[in-house]
C-alpha cells in the first residue's frame, strides 16, 4: 500500500513529477516512458503514482496543457492597439505561434506519434471536451477585443475556433503539402486568413 503524504508533500511531489515527466516524455515519448521510470525519478513507489494521477496519459496531458498555455499567453498579452499595422502584426503573431508549435517537442509528439489517439482512448471524454472548450474560450476573449475595435469581421466564435484549430494543425500535413513549399504555403495561408477576417480600411 502506498504511504500517505501530507498536503505539503503532495504539492512538492506533484510539482517535481511534472518537471521530471516533461523531461522523460520529451526524451523518450509517451509510449516508452513507464510509470516505474516516472516514480523512480521523484523517489516514490510506483503505487504512489495514483495518488497524483489516474494514468501516465493524464500526467502527459497536463504537461501538454502547460505547454499550450505559453502559446496562449502570447496571444493574451498581444496589444493590437500599439501596432502601427494591425493586420501585419497579427500575421506575425500567428506565424510566431505556428513556429512555437512546430519547435515544441511534446506538442510535436502529440501530433505525429499518434499520442492524440492514445489520449482519446485513455482520458475521460469530459476532460478532452473541457480542454477544447477552454481553447475556444481563450480564442473568443482575444477575437472579441479585435471585434470591439472594429477591425475584425463578425464571424461565429465556433467557426473562428475551428479555423484557427485547422491552421495550427497544418504541420500534420507537411508531407502532403510538400516540405519544399510548406513555409511559403503556410505564410500565404496566414495572409489569406487575416486578409479575409479583417475589415477593409475605408
Cell numbers found for residue 198: 479583417
Report the 3 state secondary structure along the chain. CCCCCCHHHHHHHHHHHHHHHHHHHHHHHHHHCCHHHHHHHHCCCHHHHHHCCCCHHHHHHHHHHHHHHHHHHHHHCCCHHHCCCHHHHHHHHHHHHHHHHHHCHHHHHHHHCCHHHHHHHHCCHHHHHHHHHHHHHHHHHHHHHHHHCCCECCCCHHHHHHHHHHHHCHHHHHHHHCCCCHHHHHHHHHHHHHHHHECCCC
Give the pLDDT of residue 51.
Answer: 92
Give the pLDDT of residue 1.
Answer: 43
Same domain, 112 and 32: no
In a domain, 37, yes or no: yes
Structural domain including 179 reads: 56-197
Q: Residues 20, 43: contact at Cβ < 8 Å?
A: no
Same domain, 40 and 120: no
Give the pLDDT of residue 3.
Answer: 57
- Per the model's pLDDT, the better-predicted residue between 32 and 77 turns out to be 32
In a domain, 62, yes or no: yes
Closest among 178, 191, 160 to 95, alpha carbons compared? 191
User: How many domains, the chain?
Assistant: 2
Region 113-136 average pLDDT: 87
Same domain, 165 and 134: yes
- Per the model's pLDDT, the better-predicted residue between 173 and 24 turns out to be 24
In a domain, 34, yes or no: yes
Closest among 68, 35, 36 to 54, alpha carbons compared? 35
pTM, to two decimals: 0.82
In a domain, 202, yes or no: no
Region 150-155 average pLDDT: 83
Same domain, 7 and 107: no
Same domain, 118 and 186: yes
pLDDT tens-place string over residues 29-41: 999 999 999 999 9
Amino acid at each position: 500500500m502506498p504511504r500517505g503524504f501530507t498536503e505539503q508533500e503532495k504539492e512538492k511531489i506533484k510539482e517535481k513529477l511534472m518537471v521530471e515527466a516533461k523531461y522523460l516524455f520529451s526524451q523518450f515519448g509517451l509510449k516508452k516512458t513507464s510509470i516505474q521510470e516516472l516514480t523512480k525519478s521523484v523517489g516514490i513507489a510506483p503505487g504512489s503514482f495514483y495518488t497524483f494521477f489516474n494514468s501516465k496519459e493524464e500526467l502527459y496531458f497536463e504537461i501538454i496543457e502547460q505547454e499550450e498555455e505559453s502559446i496562449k499567453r502570447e496571444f493574451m498579452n498581444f496589444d493590437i492597439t500599439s501596432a502601427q499595422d494591425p493586420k501585419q502584426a497579427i500575421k506575425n503573431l500567428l506565424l510566431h505561434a505556428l513556429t512555437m508549435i512546430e519547435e515544441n517537442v511534446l506538442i510535436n509528439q502529440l501530433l505525429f506519434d499518434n499520442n492524440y489517439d492514445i489520449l482519446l482512448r485513455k482520458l475521460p471524454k469530459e476532460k478532452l471536451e473541457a480542454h477544447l472548450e477552454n481553447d475556444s474560450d481563450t480564442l473568443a476573449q482575444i477575437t472579441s477585443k479585435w471585434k470591439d475595435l472594429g477591425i475584425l469581421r463578425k464571424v461565429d466564435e465556433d467557426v473562428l475556433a475551428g479555423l484557427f484549430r485547422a491552421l495550427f494543425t497544418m504541420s500534420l500535413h507537411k508531407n502532403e503539402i510538400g516540405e519544399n513549399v510548406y513555409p511559403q504555403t503556410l505564410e500565404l495561408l496566414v495572409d489569406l486568413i487575416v486578409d479575409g477576417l479583417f475589415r477593409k480600411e475605408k
